[in-house]
Structure 1
């Protein structure tokens, strides 16, 4: 079993072009090390490092980071939307990974790779929390979500050579992140406005709607198109994880916005 795992991590990506030309895709060890270092830093080592230090003033860094994230996610969202709705190359009832000789394979290859890279960049969110000593924002949901997104998207791309049914999730996720990083930019630009931004609550609502749509699309494929060639195991992964995220984000939403409001009215 140990040998099989080592071999899995060491073998190159299924797509030979990605394995030979795209960084991180010729071995699974690099991304694994990135996630281990991330967890060690945000859960333990970062707090030790900051113990006798004042919070860092990284306002300018965060402004640049958030603007770049908005641009990055908007571009990915527009391309993702184009591929499923505007100039569809996928069948929404069953999105399969394009074959290597498909004319749009280079586009699929680049977009899915850039999406995985963006999920790795997203890890900086938590690093910034540590450097600012904003530890209350480092919740189980936050860390779990980041690690899940990096590991799942990376390994699906390595093993299957594309996103397939996960394309819907990725497209919706880039839209949500475009809105989210816009909020982060305004908050960093003018911290005094943070509490008055009424749309902060609706970011969580958009995230919940996102997972409901992903869940619904997955159920439609499983129930009405059982002949879909995208691996059935991964379809159940989408179903399970979207359900888990609805529960986790739903709990966060209730604890953050519903319960405090009900206490005020008592």
Structure 2
């Protein structure tokens, strides 16, 4: 099963937690074990922890983290312009922008690991209703998928578009979390959560459209496996988020028939 990992990595740069598949696999396994079993057993006879101050700091860190990646990727795409946006290839090792491409991709990977703390905090606060199948799958898949992209495609490349949209959405999302922790009126207004869910779905549709557009380019050498991976992952996320949206925001509004 793991023989595919015996192949040389697409990029020779080996960084912590991105060397081989085991760090990503073990992190996700430990995450799921804690969230689904160990954490709940630990909290069974305990009161929910008051993490309001911790969460405010965490949300601020996420806003700055995602916002910084967004600014730098935008700078690369719009100012340095090492890519053709319709066909974003992984830069050669000797390209002057390569170190920045590697740094941003690695920072994005680490951010997906940091995102797992969302669920850890939910367990410690006993907010189990928020831990949905969508939530668990989304966070778990992102860690493994981003590692796989780095391992088999290299840092950056076609996955850059997915990255820039994702960090933008997350910057908005964590800004909402921070503001709602400061202003009760915002936290009690479900419309904002609905808008964020819509923004997430738009993100996946846009990334998929970009992949289809890339596929249509006659002289583009982006690996088909990279395009297929983005389309497959985007399709899965669209289905899951659409199902969540329908069951959370549409069906509850329909009056029950007598």
TM-score of the two chains, using structure 1 as the length reference: 0.90
Alignment of 1:233 onto 2:225: yes
User: Which of 1 and 2 has higher RCO (CA within 8 Å, sep 6+)?
Assistant: 2
Alignment of 1:121 onto 2:114: yes
Q: Provide the C-alpha distance between the structure 2 equivalents of 1:144 and 1:14, rounded to a whole number of angstroms.
A: 26
Asked if structure 2 preserves the Cα contact closer than 8 Å seen for 1:13 and 1:158, the reply is yes
Q: Provide the C-alpha distance between the structure 2 equivalents of 1:170 and 1:221, rounded to a whole number of angstroms.
A: 16
State how many pairs are aligned. 258
Alignment of 1:185 onto 2:185: no
User: Alpha carbon RMSD of aligned pairs, Å?
Assistant: 2.1
**Secondary structure at 2:188 match in 1:** helix
Question: How far is the alpha carbon of 1:136 from its aligned partner?
Answer: 0.8
1:62 pairs, out of 55, 62, 71, with 55
1:71-122 deviation per Cα after TM superposition (whole angstroms, max 9, x unaligned): 1111111111222234422111111111100010000010000000000000
**Secondary structure at 2:26 match in 1:** helix
Q: Structure 2, unaligned stretches of length 5 or more?
A: none
Q: What residue in structure 2 maps to residue 254 of structure 1?
A: 246
Q: What residue in structure 1 maps to residue 32 of structure 2?
A: 39
Asked if structure 2 preserves the Cα contact closer than 8 Å seen for 1:12 and 1:26, the reply is no
Asked if structure 1 preserves the Cα contact closer than 8 Å seen for 2:88 and 2:222, the reply is yes
Q: Structure 1, unaligned stretches of length 5 or more?
A: none
Return 203-212 or 185-194, whichever deviates more.
185-194
Q: Provide the C-alpha distance between the structure 1 equivalents of 2:46 and 2:52, rounded to a whole number of angstroms.
A: 17
TM-score of the two chains, using structure 2 as the length reference: 0.92
